[in-house]
Structure 1
Amino acid sequence: MAKNSIEFLLTGRNALFTDPITRIGGEKTSYHLPTYEALKGVCKSIYWKPTLIWYIDKVRVINPIRTQTKGVKPIKYHSDGNDLAYYTYLHDVAYQVQAHFEWNMHRPELEADRIDGKHYSIAQRMLEKGGRQDIFLGTRECQGYVEPCEFGSGVGAYDELDELSYGTMFHSFAYPDETGIDELHARLWQPTMKHGVIEFIKPSDDLEQDAINGLPNQFIRKMTAKTFELDSNIQNVNQTQEAI
């Protein structure tokens, strides 16, 4: 395995990878598969620095896809009190995930932090400890857990299924600090599961090329990227250590 790649088992009692279409009436229903963006968020919770970008290579569905509907009381946005709604979650989920990171070339101010081996070693240690931050499966109320694994090991519920296609799904967001343009875009795609494995189309910083590769996108709104100053951050850390 390359020195920028990790493999892990992702499990949880419930998951909610919300289909945006179902949110119009105040309800929420999960996609049957985890989205690229949700898995990327899991990788960021394991370990992340603005120096790098996580890319999800593929995911393997281990447990059977089952849903569970629950009555919830979400907070009303335009008045006091709570509302009533039904959320449809995925129940008892388990996935094997393979991902890797690459340097974010739109962060030239962090070029000095592109150190081979450093970030990989930290990412491996954080994965062994269950992540640097809390792991969520789509939403805050769905707690997840990660641990190292070998991708493809063990028995999956859909190993014998030749092919299963899904309709149009949300893929990921194209953020300004990853594309170099001051705009937020949403990418879409049509996934296909083969023998329990979904291989993701790798996004790029060229939205036109993404569309050609099978990732059409939709403009959301204007957005600017936050800037980082590596020397300033190092100086603040040194000052803190001297004070201690």
Structure 2
Amino acid sequence: MRNSIEFKVYGKYALFTDPLTKLGGEKLTYSVPTYQALKGVVESIYWKPTLIIVVDEVRVMNAIRMESKGIRPMEYGGGNTLANYTYLKEPHYEVRAHFVFNENRPDLAHDRNEHKHHNILKRSLEAGGRRDIFLGARECQAYVEPCVFGEAPGYYDTYDGEIHFGNMVHGINYPDETGRDQMEVRLWNPVMKNGYIKFDKPEDCTKVRRIADMQPKLFDHHNVQSVDELFEEIEAGGQS
């Protein structure tokens, strides 16, 4: 696929929080990563407001296992609360994703150099990302490496049948990407077959709920470096 990358992401723990479990101060992870969590991983590898990251597919490489921990949440007003967080243990995924240009940002049309963006994205992946990588929660540090999607053996390769995960959060709609002055949440019903989950595109999700009014963030030459300047810096760094 055009402007695509394939990579593996792994760590000791992951926490893709089911929002229904947060009401009492506890946290319980979904069994599989959300679209939004994997989009965040790609954006930590490389992102600019000129781009919209699209996650196409994820492959679950290890068996889905969970582990509960007693956690003391940070309480700025004092207190000694003990909460129970349930994490995914030894998560390992292969991800296929690509980028398209954000047509809702005509102010950044000058930054739409497809070749340079793709080049920087691939270089950033090989370097392990431009920002810290984590799986769902900040305490779940993770690592990324390039891979050939579907090449390595996975735990669910020979699983007979489909696994349905019920109603889950797909992701968040922000005004920068939708052109609507509000934040929305998308819901969907993922199905895994032989370890593979193909994601619905955000615009194809029919279950969308408004969360709050929101204005798009302002981006211009004062707070966004052009891809041409960034590419020149990377080229210069690679030659030094």
Q: Give matches, 1:144-163, under 5 Å.
A: 144-161=142-159, 162-163=161-162
Q: Identity, % of aligned pairs? A: 53
- 8 Å CA contact 1:109–1:230 kept in 2: the answer is no
- 8 Å CA contact 1:61–1:197 kept in 2: the answer is yes
What is the rounded CA distance, in whole Å, between the counterparts of 2:219 and 2:19 in structure 1?
32
Return the match for 1:106 from 104, 107, 124: 104
Distance change in 2, residues 1:112/1:68 (3 Å): same
Q: Does 1:48 align with 2:47?
A: yes
Partner of 2:173: 174
Runs of 4+ in 1 over 6 A off after TM superposition: none
Partner of 1:217: 208
3-state SS in 1 of match to 2:120: helix
- 8 Å CA contact 2:171–2:187 kept in 1: the answer is yes
What is the rounded CA distance, in whole Å, between the counterparts of 2:144 and 2:86 in structure 1?
23
Distance change in 2, residues 1:117/1:70 (3 Å): same
Partner of 2:126: 128
What is the rounded CA distance, in whole Å, between the counterparts of 1:116 and 1:94 in structure 2?
30
Partner of 1:200: 199
What is the rounded CA distance, in whole Å, between the counterparts of 1:148 and 1:232 in structure 2?
30
Distance change in 2, residues 1:72/1:109 (3 Å): same
What is the rounded CA distance, in whole Å, between the counterparts of 2:220 and 2:88 in structure 1?
41
Could you tell me the TM-score, scaled by structure 1's length? 0.89
How much has 1:234 moved relative to structure 2? Answer: 5.7
* Matched residues, number: 228
Partner of 1:230: 221
3-state SS in 1 of match to 2:21: helix
3-state SS in 1 of match to 2:202: coil
Distance change in 2, residues 1:76/1:234 (3 Å): closer
- 8 Å CA contact 2:135–2:142 kept in 1: the answer is yes
How much has 1:166 moved relative to structure 2? Answer: 1.0
| 1:217 counterpart letter in structure 2 | V
How much has 1:233 moved relative to structure 2? Answer: 4.8
How much has 1:210 moved relative to structure 2? Answer: 3.4
Partner of 1:31: 30
| 1:170 counterpart letter in structure 2 | V
RMSD: 1.9
Return 5+ residue gaps in structure 2 as ranges: 234-240
How much has 1:194 moved relative to structure 2? Answer: 0.8
- C-alpha distance after superposition, 1:46-93 (max 9, x if no partner): 00000000000000000001101110100236x313411110000001
- 8 Å CA contact 1:45–1:131 kept in 2: the answer is yes
Return 5+ residue gaps in structure 1 as ranges: none
